[in-house]
Copies of this chain bind each other. A is one copy, B any other.
Amino acid sequence: MTKEFFKVTDLNKVLEYRRIFSKVTAEDVDISETTGRILAKDIISDTDLPDFMRTTMDGYAISASSSYGATEANPGWLTIKGAIAMGDIPSFRIGPGESARIATGGMLPQGADSVMMIEHTEPVDEHSVEIYKSIAPGQHVIDIGEDFRKGEILLCCGQRIRAQETGLLAAFGKQNVLVYRKPKIAIISTGDEVVPIDHTPGLGKIRDINTYTLAGLVKEAGGIPHSYGIIPDVYDALYQSCRQAVEASDMVLISGGSSVGVRDLTIDVLASLPDAKILVHGISISPGKPTILAKVGNCAFWGLPGHVVSAMVVFSVVVKPFIEHICGLAVSREVKIPAILTRNIASVHGRTDYVRVRLLEKDGKLCAEPILGKSGLINTMVKADGLIEIDMNTEGLYQGAEVWVIPV
């Protein structure tokens, strides 16, 4: 005779709600600020890269055919027609049996199609050089457009910019780059037992862990956290803060209300906010079941569990994908890490379980070691490197199973 407190929604169904929230707007930023941001438009190549034939080695620019047959035992002999200064356009052309001194990065003269590395040469005098190797056309050079062709899509809208993408933007002279704005994410703590961190909590009270943990997670996910502090478990106070938060933010995270009373209060407040619709009241995951999702205007409004570990799991599994969606992220490069489970773990059929694990190398294999301890203990999350997901149709996993670890 158990009570149904709320009807849980399947995890995938919750994730599908992402689509009903629109992306944040875009803004121009200086290229030096782009690493880590998400591109808000495709970047098209307006030129071949490189737009001249370029050497990747120090040596002699030649026509490869001039080297055919040359070996250490039977060196070839070429005249040196000149030297090419870095960044200059060669003023002469190379014919058969001719060469030009060239330094890495230099432009090949007309008639040259390859570069003989200096290591395979020996100067005879100022005007001639012996060569000890045959090379093929294209050797040690980058051809015109070999890196990128004019008109090609260099980078796609929705792509996260890493250092190499920033480099590519530089190569094409993109001083200003259109990226999605970082979403503003409001964080509200509730709970009459929660005190600010600079207070010494009396017996029965606890410091406000969630505000700081969630702010850290929001930053890591590319958002800008804005804390509204600890709001008492009182309708008017909570309503005021929620309304302010919704108006000023792209998303709201309220945490602390895992007791039925506070959850009911949160629901009451949410239901009375203008243009609000409660989408989810409970998710079929553990930990993290008592999670609320509402749409208030275009703002995703989350009621997260009060336990920090549960709140972190929900953040990692559900909230983060929503943040990435409104951030415009279309192509994620984040990978789950394959590892071998070090011990059996039991799980309950009918819900998706998340187990904290530590990663360690053992006999040349990456292993995932489940962390023991109640889910309410912060120390389990501090020890953890990641989470493994146990499917709702699985009743547990055996030692030695191959698992995928979600880094935390």
Residues of A within 8 A of B (CB): 1-3, 5, 31-32, 34-36, 49-52, 54, 56, 58, 72, 85-90, 103-107, 118-120, 122, 132, 142, 146-148, 154-155, 161-175, 191-194, 197-217, 219-220, 227, 233, 258-262, 306-308, 312, 333, 335, 337-339, 359, 364-366, 374-379, 381-382, 384-385, 402, 408
Say whether B385 contacts A89, CB under 8 Å: no
Query: What are 25 A-B pairs with beta-carbon distances under 8 A?
Result: A2-B119, A3-B118, A35-B219, A51-B201, A51-B203, A56-B307, A56-B375, A87-B193, A104-B258, A104-B306, A106-B193, A118-B260, A142-B376, A148-B379, A162-B216, A164-B382, A164-B384, A167-B210, A167-B212, A167-B378, A170-B211, A170-B212, A335-B366, A337-B366, A338-B339
- Identical copies of this chain, number: 2
Say whether A193 contacts B86, CB under 8 Å: yes
Which residue from chain B places its CB closest to the CB of A364 in the assembled complex?
A: B402
Please tell me which one of the listed residues B36, B170, B209 contacts residue A208 in the complex, with CB atoms under 8 A apart: B170
Say whether B105 contacts A206, CB under 8 Å: yes
Which residues of B are found within 8 Å of A202, using beta-carbon distances? 89
CB contact under 8 A between A338 and B366, given known A89-B203, A198-B175: yes
CB contact under 8 A between A192 and B3, given known A173-B207, A197-B173, A366-B338: no
Further 12 A-B residue pairs, CB within 8 A, beyond A167-B378, A169-B212, A171-B207: A1-B72, A35-B220, A36-B220, A56-B375, A87-B192, A87-B194, A87-B205, A89-B204, A155-B382, A162-B408, A164-B382, A173-B197
